[in-house]
C-alpha cells in the first residue's frame, strides 16, 4: 500500500474513533460525524475572500481561520512544524533500533527518573472523570 494512503487511512480512523470515545451519547457522535463530512459549515480565512468571492453562493463563509479551535495565527505554523518533525526525523521504533547505551543516555534517563519522582507529590486531575 502506498505510504501516503496508509497515513491517510490511519489518521482518519483515529479521528473517527476518537469522536466515539469523547461523545457522551451515540447521537452526539453521529452529529459530529455528519458535520465533519458535510459542506454546510466550511469557513475559509478572510484573506481569501477577495479571490474566492464566488464560493459564497455555495454556502461557504469567510471568517477567522483558527478562531473555532481556540488557536491563534501561530497554530498553522505549529502544524507545519509538527509535519516536518514527522517526515524528517526518526520515530520511536527507529530510535529504538539505533539505541546505544552510553553515559549521555544514562544521565538523561537518571535525570528523567529523578524529575518524575520529584513530581509525584503534585495534584493532577483524573483524566477519565467523565466515564
Q: Mind listing the pLDDT tens digit for each residue in 15-64? A: 999 999 888 899 999 998 988 888 777 888 888 888 888 988 888 888 87
Range of the domain at 23: 1-38
Q: Which of 52-61, 108-117, 121-130 has the lowest mean pLDDT?
A: 121-130
With beta carbons less than 8 A apart as the criterion, state whether 107 and 100 touch: no
This prediction's pTM: 0.48
With beta carbons less than 8 A apart as the criterion, state whether 52 and 71 touch: no
Beta bridge partner(s), residue 62: 44
C-alpha distance from residue 9 to each of 4, 15, 114 (Å): 9, 10, 40
Give the separation between CA 86 and CA 38, rounded to whole angstroms: 29
Residue 118 lies in a domain: no
Structure confidence at residue 17 (pLDDT): 92
Residue 82 lies in a domain: no
Residue 89 lies in a domain: no
Total domain count, the chain: 1
Amino acid at each position: 500500500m502506498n505510504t501516503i494512503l496508509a497515513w491517510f487511512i490511519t489518521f482518519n480512523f483515529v479521528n473517527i474513533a476518537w469522536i466515539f470515545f469523547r461523545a457522551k451519547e451515540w447521537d452526539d457522535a453521529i452529529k459530529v460525524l455528519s458535520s465533519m463530512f458535510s459542506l454546510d459549515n466550511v469557513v475559509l480565512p478572510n484573506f481569501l475572500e477577495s479571490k474566492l468571492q464566488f464560493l459564497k453562493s455555495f454556502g461557504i463563509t469567510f471568517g477567522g481561520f483558527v478562531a473555532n479551535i481556540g488557536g491563534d495565527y501561530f497554530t498553522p505554523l505549529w502544524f507545519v512544524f509538527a509535519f516536518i518533525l514527522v517526515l524528517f526525523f526518526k520515530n520511536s521504533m527507529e530510535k529504538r533500533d539505533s539505541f546505544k547505551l552510553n553515559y549521555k543516555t544514562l544521565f538523561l534517563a537518571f535525570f528523567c527518573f529523578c524529575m518524575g519522582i520529584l513530581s509525584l507529590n503534585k495534584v493532577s486531575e483524573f483524566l477519565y472523570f467523565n466515564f
